[in-house]
């Protein structure tokens, strides 16, 4: 159960409690656990890095935590998730803000770890490309980078033209993805170009987090001179993070639009706690059609990262008898049987696959509400060009 701690209205968050192994409304991957999970043992540097991400969430959602409506809205979101009524849970901005404050911090930390674990595979995606000046956004696209108050247009142009860039398209992506992506940039000098695509109205939430990632944290006037001197944004200069939010149903994208989103150079595509929702809410037929379409358009060398709840929490039912298929089986069935994919498309190889991994939080982390350990399955695929006959 989520506990709002007594100190939640203060600017200094209390320690997260160690009673983290409670079952959450989203199933075991968001928290819980049939087994007990011991707290993570991390180096002081790792804890400091994770705490910075939690501080960004805390600073961004400070007002929400002290809002009298917070607990009521949180219960409504939990109920909608429990009922698998995702349209309600992710359907309005107030719910998304509460979701982002409650569930996204732990997810962001977890995704940051996953991204650092696949750093070697991400390396070849980092290319000296720039965002084309001629790119005109579609009407449903909100470009965050250009709205950031700290953006200096000349610097923006210089950075985008000269730097190595990692592109990522997060399908069903929101608060957790942008913060994890920002953290990946922190430890590098590259430019990150992130597109978040979701049916829910995430634009405002991710725009706030974009600003939180690219602006030095607020300091009290009593902060020491040393603290003031080293106060810096997670991503500097701000122009190294570009983000665009697209409010769209991925299952309804036509090939032209998908092709525009994917671009011409290899990129990372993520479906983080989203693919199983596509199979169960959108249906296996439409989701399979989308994956087949993706295979025909995706630039060779791209990566697809799928993270979701493990085991029986990620199953989709088919046919009148409602026979259940594991998400991973459905995905492999579509991607790995080359003869079943459109001949004009690419081939997929599976680089990594883990059925059940724990992400445990350290007791030393501070956040105004209790965060929970999570368990997930993870699969990483890469596309290659089809050998010509």
Ligand X SMILES: C[S@@+](CC[C@H](N)C(=O)[O-])C[C@H]1O[C@@H](n2cnc3c(N)ncnc32)[C@H](O)[C@@H]1O
- Does residue 172 touch ligand X according to CB under 6 A? yes
Find the shortest distance in angstroms from Cβ 307 to ligand X: 8
Choice from 39, 42, 127, 251 touching ligand X (CB under 6 A): 251
Please tell me whether residue 274 binds ligand X under the rule CB under 6 A: yes
Compute the chain's Rg from CA coordinates.
Answer: 20
SS3 164: coil
Strand 323-326 with 315-318, pairing: antiparallel
Binding mask 205-244 for ligand X (x = CB under 6 A): ----------------------------------------
Q: Which is nearer to ligand X, 228 or 285 (CB)?
A: 285
Tokens of 218: 């607020």
Contacting ligand X (CB under 6 A), which of 249, 255, 312, 349? 249
- Closer residue to ligand X, CB minimum distance, 161 or 285: 285
Coil, helix or strand at residue 120: helix
**DSSP symbols for 121-156:** HHGGG-BS----TT-PPPTTEEESGGG-TT--HHHH
Q: Does 282 bind ligand X (CB under 6 A)?
A: yes
Measure the CA–CA gap between 208 and 210, rounded to whole angstroms: 5
Residue 290 in the binding site for ligand X (CB under 6 A):
no
198 forms part of the interface with ligand X (CB under 6 A): yes
| Coil/strand/helix, residue 69 | coil
DSSP letter assigned to residue 345: S
Strands 165-171 and 374-384: unpaired
Nearest approach in angstroms of CB 278 to ligand X is: 5
Q: How many residues bind ligand X (CB under 6 A)?
A: 23
Q: Which is nearer to ligand X, 251 or 300 (CB)?
A: 251
**93 binding ligand X? (CB under 6 A):** no
Whole-angstrom distance, CA of residue 80 vs CA of residue 242 = 32
Give the interface with ligand X as residue ranges (CB under 6 A).
86, 90, 104, 107, 172-174, 176-177, 197-200, 249-251, 272-274, 277-278, 281-282
């Amino acid at each position: 159960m989520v506990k709002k701690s007594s100190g939640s209205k203060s600017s200094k968050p209390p320690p997260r409690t160690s009673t983290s192994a409670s079952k959450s409304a989203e199933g075991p991957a968001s928290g819980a656990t049939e087994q007990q999970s011991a707290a993570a043992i991390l180096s002081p540097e790792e804890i400091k890095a994770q705490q910075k991400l939690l501080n960004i969430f805390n600073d961004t959602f400070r007002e929400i935590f002290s809002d009298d409506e917070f607990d009521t809205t949180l219960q409504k979101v939990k109920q909608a998730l429990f009922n698998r009524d995702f349209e309600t849970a992710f359907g309005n901005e107030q719910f998304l803000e509460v979701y982002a404050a409650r569930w996204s911090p732990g997810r962001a930390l977890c995704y940051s770890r996953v991204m650092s674990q696949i750093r070697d595979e991400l390396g070849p995606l980092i290319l000296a490309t720039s965002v084309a000046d001629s790119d005109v956004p579609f009407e449903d696209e909100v470009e965050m980078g250009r709205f950031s108050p700290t953006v200096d247009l000349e610097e923006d142009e210089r950075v985008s033209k000269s730097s190595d860039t990692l592109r990522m398209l997060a399908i069903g992506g929101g608060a957790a993805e942008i913060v994890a992506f920002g953290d990946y940039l922190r430890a590098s000098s590259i430019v990150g170009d992130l597109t978040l695509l979701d049916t829910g109205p995430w634009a405002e939430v991710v725009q706030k987090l974009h600003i939180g990632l690219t602006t030095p944290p607020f300091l009290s006037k009593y902060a020491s001179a040393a603290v003031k001197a080293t106060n810096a944004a997670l991503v500097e200069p701000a122009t190294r993070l570009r983000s665009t939010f697209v409010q769209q149903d991925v299952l309804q994208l036509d090939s032209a639009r998908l092709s525009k989103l994917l671009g011409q150079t290899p990129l990372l595509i993520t479906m983080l706690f989203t693919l199983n929702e596509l199979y169960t809410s959108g249906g296996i037929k439409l989701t399979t059609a989308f994956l087949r379409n993706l295979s025909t358009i995706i630039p060779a060398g791209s990566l697809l990262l799928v993270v979701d709840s493990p085991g029986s929490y990620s199953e989709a039912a088919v046919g009148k008898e409602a026979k259940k298929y594991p998400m991973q089986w459905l995905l492999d069935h579509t991607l790995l049987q080359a003869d079943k994919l459109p001949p004009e498309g690419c081939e997929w190889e599976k680089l990594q696959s883990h059925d059940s991994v724990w992400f445990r939080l350290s007791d030393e982390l501070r956040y105004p509400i209790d965060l929970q350990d999570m368990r997930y399955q993870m699969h990483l695929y890469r596309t290659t060009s089809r050998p010509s006959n």
